[in-house]
A and B are shown apart, each in its own frame.
Chain A
Amino acid sequence: MYPRARCTFVRHRSTGCDRHPSQHSRGLRRSRCHRVTGRLHALDIDSGAQLDVGADQSVCTASVHKLCLLVTLHELAAAGRLDLGEQIECRPTDRTTGPTGLAAMLDPVRMSLRDVAYLAMAVSDNASADLLLERVGLDAVNHTTARLGLTRTHAVHTFAELFATIREDVGPGGAQALTDPHVISRLRALDPARTNRSTPRDMTRLLGAVWRDEACTPEHGASIRRLLGLQVWPHRMASGFPFDDVHVAGKTGTLPTVRNEVGVVEYPDGGRYAVAVFTRTANPAATLPAADAVIGTTARIAVDALRAL
């Protein structure tokens, strides 16, 4: 058994409407300790009821931004500006680095845009994400998020550029230096003002639009939802919903001390909830299963609260 990490979800003055019973937000904050802090927004996709714990704070999206990229790709496909079946080449020499998918493979690959998108979502493949970004451009991603009213969401760099800032900021110490608090404190990648950013509320708004088929055509919406449902990681949001009849779809994001996931949880009675959880750990260790599980625990508390309304 893992030790259970305790979490502190910091509540900030919020302009959003809070219709949840106050005891539930107390529940989110009650288990306090100094290990995991976070921001959360949970939204009942159909009733609009919501639960807000720092939901308008700016957060580093990390790989959660691949969701914005995915929606952009489908929006362009819906507009006839690209074909999802279009083949692209991925040469080993200019791949963005990463531990999964094409980023981890050694040989030349040729595959369709939608299969590349699958790898970017299912295993958060950085090489795949940058292939798609190269095809659609950062501006298109920002255009899409702006069009959907996500005013606090912005991408400033590709994934290759994001990792380049980390390498630069870490300096000659390499990955080992990431345990040094001085190094952690100077990473631009951990400063929402200088990296790809959003807010928990913007992300549930995006998910709500995708699930209500407002982001693009129903056909493309279904394709986005399918890919989000194919994410392989069981350790974060999905861990809070240990039920065979509950569908969980989502996208994680991870950087040193950052653990995020945004997703949609669907119950057999038709209830569907968009949840965005962005956390930071005090401990810079890369492997903290209990901190990952905090995302599932808090998402579950939030969904239970929305279902009890």
Chain B
Amino acid sequence: MGVRLFERSSRRVTITEAGTLLLAQARELLAGSEAFMATARRIRDGETGLLRAALSPDIAGETVAALLTEFQRRHLGLELVLLELTTAQQLARLASHDLDVGIVHHPCDVSGLELGPVLRRELGVLLPRTVAAAELDEVPLSALAGHDLILFPRADAPALYDDLLTACARNGFTPAAVRHGQGASFVHGLLLSADAVAFGPRDTRPEQVHGQRPDSGVVWRPLAGAPLAWRHSVAWPKGRGDAAVKAFTEAATHALRTTADATSDVPSRPLYLRPASEYWL
């Protein structure tokens, strides 16, 4: 390279300034070559190699653990690189083939993708124990009127974000402000300090997340009439669903069903096509 990277003396070796400047890029190159070699291995061996898979940040630790266990059981010898990526990030990387498989939130743009079974997780509401609606066994969305809403940043899954807010408005809850937060601790803090509520599936209820802590000041309640849900499915680029992807799909579906109360997504509402839709079935 024509650059001195280290200073050697009889006693020690130290990195030069030039070496420091190149270090970050060197690490990237090494990591890239590792993935490169792993992909080559996978192509050569078919079943063994590296599978680059992504989960969205809202998948709970217990589900991740179950997924990994189940995946190893199904497909020994395959190297799984698990990444935490939002739906939008996953779609971009699936399109550029920087990702082999992911668990995305619907609705999203599924063109060019193949999907595993769509799973549904009913959302409940997280709210401070002191709020009146916390007294109810089931909270109607309209009872949340007047509170701010803590929601994931819109860029993470724009279609889902808009869908959730539309469903809230239809059911009588138009939050005065939407605050963006994602991590469980951060959301928990906002819930306690601001006049806000958040949505989450059953496995986000505080007694589950915080385990031994008996009273975190926040409670989880189901929403009356189950008006909101997350719908997930495993997704991979069309035509690239090999045995590894199949194993991941099965493991993820199993993990979501057993640890995250996910159920099959059966459309329960009628669909009325209006003439302006210009198609008819």
Whether chains A and B associate is yes
Q: A243-B170, A308-B142 are known contacts. Are A233 and B276 too (CB-CB below 8 A)?
A: yes
Chain B 156-175 residues near chain A, CB threshold 8 A: 166, 170, 172
Known: A242-B166, A304-B172, A308-B142. A231 touches B272 (CB 8 A): no
Question: How far, in Å, is A160 (CB) from chain B's closest CB?
Answer: 26
CB nearest neighbor in B for A238? B274
Given the known inter-chain contacts A304-B172, A308-B142, please indicate yes or no for A246 contacting B272, CB distance below 8 A: yes
From A122, A234, A268, A308, give the contact of B270 (CB < 8 A). Answer: A268
Contact digits for B172-188, partner A, Cβ 8 Å, 1 yes 0 no: 10000000000000000
Query: A233 CA to B277 CA in the complex, in Å?
Result: 10
Chain B residues, CB < 8 A from A268: 269-270
Contact of A245 among B142, B270, B276 (CB under 8 A): B270
* Chain A residues, CB < 8 A from B166: 242
- Min C-beta distance of B30 to chain A, whole Å: 48
Cβ-defined contact, B275 with A308, below 8 A: no
Contacting A at CB under 8 A, from B242-281, are 269-272, 274-276
Q: Contact check: which of A122, A232, A244, A304 meets B272 at CB < 8 Å? A: A244
Known A-B contacts A122-B275, A233-B276, A242-B166; the reply to A308 vs B269 at CB < 8 A is: no
Complex CA–CA separation, A247 to B274 (angstroms): 8
**Which residues of B from 133 to 171 have beta carbons under 8 Å from A?**
142, 166, 170
* Known contacts A242-B166, A304-B172, A308-B142; A248 and B274 CB within 8 A of each other: yes
Which residue of B has the minimal Cβ distance to A243? B170
Among A59-104, those with CB < 8 Å from B are none
Q: Is A140 an interface residue (CB 8 A)?
A: no
Complexed CA–CA distance, A244 and B163 (Å) = 12
What chain A residues lie within 8 Å of B274 (beta carbons)?
234, 238, 248
Residues of A within 8 A of B269 (CB): 244-245, 268
CB distance from A242 to the nearest CB of B (A): 7
Q: How many residues on chain A are close to B (CB under 8 Å)? A: 17
Q: A242-257 CB contact bits vs B (8 Å, 1 = yes)? A: 1111111000000000
- Main secondary structure on B side of the interface with A: loop
CA distance A231 to B272 in the complex (A): 13
Question: How many angstroms from the CA of A233 to the CA of B166 in the assembled complex?
Answer: 22
When C-beta atoms are compared, the residue in chain B nearest to A304 turns out to be B172
How many residue pairs bridge A and B at CB < 8 Å? 29
* Count of chain B residues near A, Cβ 8 A: 11
* B275 to A, closest residue via Cβ: A232
Chain B proximity mask over A283-309: 1 for CB below 8 Å, otherwise 0? 000000000000000000000100010
**Nearest Cβ distance between residue B173 and chain A, in whole angstroms?**
11
Expressed in whole angstroms, the Cα–Cα distance for A231 and B276 within the complex equals: 9
Q: What residues of chain B lie closer than 8 Å to A136, measured between beta carbons?
A: none
Q: Is A230's beta carbon under 8 Å from chain B?
A: yes
Chain B residue at smallest Cβ distance from A122: B275
A44 to B166 CA separation, bound complex (whole angstroms): 23
Q: Once bound together, how far apart are the Cα atoms of A233 and B170, in whole Å?
A: 22
The CA-CA distance from A244 to B270 in the complex, in Å, is: 8
How far is B269's CA from A46's CA once the two chains are assembled, in angstroms? 21
* Shortest Cβ distance from A233 into B: residue: B276
Does A245 contact B172, Cβ atoms closer than 8 Å? no
Chain A: minimal CB distance from B171 (Å) = 9
Q: Which of B172, B271, B276 contacts A308 (CB under 8 A)? A: B172
**Per-residue contact bits, chain A 8-21, to B (CB 8 Å; 1 contact, 0 not):** 00000000000000
Complex alpha-carbon distance, A308 and B270, angstroms: 22
Would you call A232 and B142 a contact (CB within 8 A)? Answer: no
User: Are B170 and A238 closer than 8 Å at their CB atoms?
Assistant: no
A234's partner among B142, B170, B276 (CB-CB below 8 A) is: B276
| B271 and A244 within 8 A (CB) | yes
Q: Complex Cα distance A52/B196, Å?
A: 34
Q: Judging by beta carbons under 8 Å apart, are A245 and B271 in contact?
A: yes
Chain A, range 227-279, C-beta contacts under 8 Å to B: 230-234, 238, 242-248, 268
Contacting residues, chain A, for B170 (C-beta < 8 A)? 243
A230 to B166, CA, bound (A): 25
Chain A residues closer than 8 Å to B172, beta-carbon distance: 304, 308
- Give the chain B neighbours of A308 by CB distance below 8 A: 142, 172
Task: Point out residues on B near A: beta carbons under 8 Å.
Answer: 142, 166, 170, 172, 269-272, 274-276
Could you show 8 A-B contacts with beta carbons less than 8 Å apart? Answer: A122-B275, A232-B275, A232-B276, A234-B276, A246-B272, A247-B270, A247-B272, A308-B172
Identify 13 new A-B residue pairs, CB closer than 8 A, beyond the known A234-B274, A245-B269.
Answer: A232-B275, A233-B276, A238-B274, A243-B170, A244-B271, A245-B272, A246-B272, A247-B270, A248-B274, A268-B269, A268-B270, A304-B172, A308-B142
